[in-house]
Amino acid sequence: MAGLFEQCDVPADLSALLFAIYFAATTSLLSINEGDFLGGQKHAAVQKYQRGLEVSLYNSSFLDSPTITSLQAMAIYVRCRRFHSSGRSNWVLNGLTIYAAQSIGLHRDGSNFNLPILECELRRRLWWHIITADKRVAEDHGLVGGFETISNTKLPLNVDDSDLSPQLKTPPAAKETWTEMTMFLITAEASKVFARIHRVSLQSQPGKDVHDESRKLVADFDTRLSRTYLKYCDQNVPVQKATFLLGRLLLCKAKALVHIQSLNGLSAKQSAKHINEETLSYACVGLECGSEMLTDEVLKSYSWLSSSYTPYHLLTYALWHLCVCPETPGVTRAWNAVQKCFELTERDSGWRECDPHWAVLCGLRQKALTIQRSRLGAKSGEELSGLYSMDQAVLPDTGSEIDFGDALMPWDLDPLAFFDWTSFAPTF
């Protein structure tokens, strides 16, 4: 252990990057062979590399003098840390990383400073990696990330690492094929679309249908995603299949959010009149894609990362839909998708016990189950047994009717931020 901190010939920021890579590698292996990994000393290994990263960042004066290398270390660490913790500290650390990145000008495109092609691309990749991470971690806590509005940094090119070199005088052309950057670019494009949808929702004016503008944004995103990225994914290749499923999940999320946006401000009764089966279908497809990413054997190497991105918003909408409209035509598919997602999420439930997001969803599911049980109980036993493809374990006995505090429950969903999870949880 001591030897790890005595690499005097290694710059402190590079040492931090090495420890971040060790931390990421260790984390990624935990979900593959957890029992045999390092003789069962998985937590000791993770803590050792985390400690090494912290010491190296301190020695590099990260807060006062961040560098590209130390920011790369921090970005890798924060992304992988999600697997170990769902707390707000992730959001705080990501905000710290963004401000450090701004302090060295990463929010300005390198071409403005006539920087070399390779350096421009490295800066773009790093900046958008940090920004997309912030967008998602903010969503986890009912917040909206907005740092992309202060930046003019372009998206990275859709090229492989081998297409870049210090000798380049002109940028390489973006490839019309799958590349090592395709999965990342899909998440970055989605992050931009979600941010624009949110901005559009704030521009409501008399006589102006902002929802049409949002629908056009999503339609353009759908076209670009299909033509530029998804059509080149070979689903026989694990990483490309993961890319394809992620793209579909994000597209379904965008389509669902546009409809949710149109319900914003309506009462529960008004929302029920505008309920849309197509939106529930999008939510189901998104949940199914997420579940496949966690259960497909060929994608096992990526399950550690997929498991750290619970589809809170799609789950919330599906359960809300089932509460408001329990006789929806897609009820069986919706319950199957929701239940599968719950089973997979609770499979690794160590940190769920203190997660306010999960407490909200568990309460909402219990409410939906109570409504379904009440509705099905009025039907014949034959209809009850034939309605669901799942067994009775999916509909546990909830006992007597539970007071869920419906009067306080915000059934009118906010389109993007939804609600502050912490303040919402006590209503259950």
Q: Is the pLDDT of residue 43 over 50?
A: yes
Q: Is the pLDDT of residue 376 over 90?
A: no
**427 vs 112: which has the higher pLDDT:** 112
Q: Is the dihedral of CA 83, 89, 133, 141 positive or negative?
A: positive
Q: Where do runs of H (alpha helix) occur along 35-156?
A: 42-59, 68-81, 89-103, 117-140
Query: In this structure, what token pair is assigned to residue 208?
Result: 């102006």
CA distances from residue 392 to 130, 210, 230, 389 in whole angstroms, order as listed: 44, 44, 38, 10
Mean local confidence (pLDDT), 226-246:
96
Coil, strand or helix at 366? helix
- pLDDT recorded at residue 173: 95
Rounded-to-integer distance, Cα 315 and Cα 420, Å: 16
| Cβ-based neighbour number of residue 190 at 10 Å | 22
Mean local confidence (pLDDT), 295-307:
90
Q: Is the pLDDT of residue 337 over 70?
A: yes
DSSP single-letter state for residue 39: G
- pLDDT recorded at residue 307: 86
- pLDDT recorded at residue 417: 41
**374 vs 336: which has the higher pLDDT:** 336
Query: In this structure, what token pair is assigned to residue 215?
Result: 């629908």
- pLDDT recorded at residue 152: 92
- pLDDT recorded at residue 85: 80
Please give the mean pLDDT across all residues of the chain: 81
Lowest mean pLDDT among 20-29, 107-116, 318-327, 395-404: 395-404
Lowest mean pLDDT among 193-207, 227-241, 332-346, 405-419: 405-419
C-beta contacts of 190-194 below 8 A and 24+ residues apart: 190/221, 190/250, 190/251, 190/253, 190/254, 191/128, 191/131, 191/132, 191/135, 191/136, 191/148, 192/148, 193/217, 193/218, 193/221, 193/254, 194/135, 194/254, 194/257, 194/416
Rounded-to-integer distance, Cα 410 and Cα 418, Å: 9
Mean local confidence (pLDDT), 304-309:
87
**427 vs 240: which has the higher pLDDT:** 240
Each domain of the chain, given as residue ranges in start order, spans 10-157
Rounded-to-integer distance, Cα 352 and Cα 81, Å: 15
Query: In this structure, what token pair is assigned to residue 157?
Result: 């090119």
Confidence tier at 414 by pLDDT (50, 70, 90) = very low
Mean local confidence (pLDDT), 21-43:
75
Q: What pLDDT digit, counting tens, does each position of 159-205 carry?
A: 999 999 999 999 999 999 999 999 999 999 999 999 888 888 777 65
Q: What pLDDT digit, counting tens, does each position of 377-412 carry?
A: 744 343 434 334 443 434 433 333 333 344 444 444
CA distances from residue 250 to 163, 192, 311, 370 in whole angstroms, order as listed: 28, 12, 10, 30
Q: Is the pLDDT of residue 210 over 80?
A: no
Mean local confidence (pLDDT), 73-81:
95
- pLDDT recorded at residue 325: 86
